[in-house]
Amino acid sequence: MSNGAHGRRTALKLAAGLSAAVILTGLASCSAGSGGDAGGDVTIEFAQWWAPELPEGAFQGLIDQFEKENPGIKVELLSGPYASTKEQLFAGAASGTMSDVVGLDGAWVSDFAKQGAITDLTALMKEQGMDDSDLASQIQINGATYMIPVVNFVYPMFTNTDLLAQAGIDAVPTTRTEFETAAKAITNLGTASGWVLPLSLEAPNGIQNDVMSWNWASGGSMLTADGKPDLTNSDVEGTVDYVKGLWDDGVIAPGSFTMKEQDKVEEFTNGRVGMMIDSLSHINLIQENNPDLKFDISAIPAEDGYEGARGIPYASWGIGVSDSSEHKAEALKLVQFLMSTDVNSQLSTIANAFPGNKQSTPEFGDGKELFEKAFEIYKSGYPANEFTGLPVAEDLMRQFDTEFQKVLSGDGTVKDMLSTVQDSWTKEF
């Protein structure tokens, strides 16, 4: 592929986002730094979408351990779905009421840093004497760290084993042609759609996870070697043409224009779609909500004839500290705890994720076969998410999404659409 080489250079970043079906409560009214209680303890708020993604009580158990090891610091968990957490964090950033510790998507980091909403962790770690040598990666803006990836996930292809068998497909698709054939066969069963594509403008990360992931899987890139927009290259055009072809074939689940990440997972979990691109973190949710569902994971199919290394969509549960927090030292203690070798091993194990601490080791064990397979997929390729750290990353996705929806509705060509988006993106750089 013509853009594979610089795609690999620019893709060694972490981002994305996840979702869950738990209602967020109390986050909108919370302000940074809850202060001390009557006993003199400091209470810090931690807003994240992680707890609902894990087995019930698992994350609270780690927080209980932190409180036991750090007497005098209490942690109030504010847990909710990804979309709701994002909405409330952006509101908190604008009003200066962001929780002390925040779960972060890499796509938000540039915006929050420019707003002054999240603190410079490089300076804070130095001030508090935190050793960062074991951190696998750090997300930086202008040389300063604003987000630390706590655990990392690959986004493989999920396939419904029974639907593939019913459709007469003997093996999971490995190429775009094989995927299209399988998607048509599943759709022709009349009971499910072949694939699912969330394109909600409210939460436009479907452009990242479900569209551009096809480009990265074939070694392509949407950026130039120096990190500028390059949406009109042949790799990107071929990718978007391919996805539009699936749309025109009628194999994509209905409701794409308003569908969000959590809706996609629900469609797959309930057997209404045969295949989806999704985060490993949702394995727990799928198995809990439908224990009888038989599914497998595999690498995202590559362009026919492509034999190079595949870009693996990669996402993080990132963590940061509010710049308006009155308890930054205590907040960093929680960050340090979650990044410690043993705790990070535990968290990556229960989350079906890869650790953010280079010394941590997740346990595969019984029931972790899909996790082990994902690790092999990861090792065979390279991590890819070019939206991480880009300016106004979510707005870039939304601009792309808006024009793509027009093309899917029959208004204009893919080539003209990409030229329009290229122009609008260039203005943001």
**Cβ contact 367:360 at 8 Å:** no
In whole angstroms, what is the distance from residue 387 CA to residue 357 CA? 23
Using one digit for the tens of pLDDT, what is the confidence trace for 44-94? 999 999 999 898 999 999 999 999 999 999 999 999 998 899 999 999 999
* Average confidence score pLDDT of the chain: 89
7 Cβ contact partners less than 8 Å away, ≥ 6 residues apart: 1, 215, 216, 219, 220, 221, 223, 235, 311, 384, 386
The residue-averaged pLDDT of 165-172 equals: 97
Residue from 106, 138, 109, 112 nearest 125 by CA: 138
Interacting residues of 117 by C-beta distance below 8 A, sequence separation 6+: 92, 93, 96, 98, 322, 323, 324
Does the global pTM surpass 0.85?
Answer: no
Looking only at Cα atoms, what is the longest distance across the chain?
67
Does the pLDDT value for residue 171 go beyond 80?
A: yes
Tell me, what's the pLDDT at 371?
84
**Which H or E run includes 404?**
helix 393-408
* 206 HSE (CA, 13 A, CB side): 27
- Domains of the chain, CATH where assigned: 4-154+316-371 (3.40.190.10), 157-313+386-428 (3.40.190.10)
Q: Is residue 9 pLDDT above 90, yes or no?
A: no
- Distance, CA of 403 to CA of 49 (rounded, Å): 29
Assigned token pair, 350:
């229960």
- C-alpha span between 283 and 198 (Å, rounded): 18
Confidence of residue 29 (pLDDT cuts 50, 70, 90): very low
| Under 8 Å between Cβ of 371 and 297 | no
- Cα–Cα distances in Å, from 10 out to 4, 22, 214? 10, 35, 16
pLDDT computed for residue 39 by the predictor: 53
Q: What are phi and psi of 99, to 5 degrees?
A: -60, 160
How many percent of the chain have pLDDT more than 90?
Answer: 71
C-alpha distance from residue 234 to each of 126, 210, 420 (Å): 45, 19, 16
